[in-house]
Structure 1
Amino acid sequence: MQVQRNREIGGAIYSMSDLKFDDKVVADLLRTIRVSDQSCTAYAILRDRYKRRSTLLDLTILLISAWLTAMIWVEPTIAERLTPHGASKEIWLGVLSVGAFALSLIQLQVNWKERANSFHQAMSVLSTYVKELRPLLNSPDIHKIEAALDRYQAITEPLMPIPESDFLKMKQRHQLKIKISKHLDEYPGTNLLLLRLVLRWRDNASLRSSSKEDNDQSH
């Protein structure tokens, strides 16, 4: 069957004219690319989030440890200057020791560094898979497409799941990224913050207008 269509995936337009495709297989391929691309964005956001948290926690423990070490080995007069006003040196040393120990326990419990690495690995695996799928949009080999799609579950099953509470936020950020990317292709000098605000205002204004129309129709 001859079909002709242009499909948009991740902001790019793909032409599939004059090729023989099974509609269901093509639809599955398009959906898999779209879902995988969205998951890549989510994994990248989660990776950066937990990497920032891990780095902040590591630096806080290092700074407290350095402060504690300095107070022990420096001259007593300098140690007094490193102690907050109104607190004794011994009490402050105890506070720093307990603080460093407590943060170390938190570090072991939350394991943010490992989670960041897991999300990074998931993003890398899915990104590689999407790169393999995109050329198939212009391939007439249905069996090759089906074989690639059959690997989806085996590839994604071992990956770190995206938290359910973050899913809609991740989807929103992915869609915003696509809209912003398309706009920048035509207007590269656009202020990104202003563009985000305009998109949010437009969509929320549309939502309010739709809600008002529904209320009017109900009456």
Structure 2
Amino acid sequence: MAEEVVLFGVWASPFSQRVKTTLTLKGVQFKYIEEDLNNKSASLLQYNPVNKNIPVLVHNGKPIVESLVILEYIDETWEEYPLLPRDPHKKANAHFWAKFIDEKFLPGMRKACWGEENEREKAVEEASELLQLLENNLAEKRFFGGETQFGMVDIVANVIGLWLGAFEEGSGVELVTRDKFPKLCNWIDEFVSSSITKESLPPRDELTLFLRKRFGSANHVSK
């Protein structure tokens, strides 16, 4: 009997797209269902009654929610193309940086680009400090996951690979330049041009327009 894998998501959500990227990397066949968060489907509410948000992965009828949890579930369920190292310390380090991106960098990026105008200068400075930590973490590596392939942190860092540029363009705030962050810029170039990630990323111009409209009124970002 064939496995049934269904992903509920939103095209402009980095959290949805990181799950799509991971399933694609693993060669997992899945059905994608686009959600309207202003008119959530009965299925989404059934599978995620707690926070009623995307992404939701349904595997053989059983739901898994929250993107970082979903990524780890996928990695443990399908062995092809492992995202996390086996070494416990390296695995813990990957979890740390994945959470750093979601809990520290993403809010900082949003505040720098679309926060209160009188707090913008300080927010940009703080976001730059977070970017410097990520630049330092890359060190001489090609990817956050090492030299040979994307890993968990690279997938989670899609918010830097595409969404950061769309945030910058949409808001007119510049955070990343090659002079300040050469390693991150090299990583971004490779991330957006890779055949591995390209099919999971939304068009940049459409994403920028979406973000301009959204952040005029919305403040919640799903995980």
Question: TM-score per shorter chain, which class?
Answer: under 0.3
Structure with more helix by fraction: 1
- TM-score normalized by the length of structure 1: 0.28
> Considering only CA atoms, is the larger Rg found in Structure 1 or Structure 2?
1
Higher relative contact order (CA 8 A, sep 6+): 1
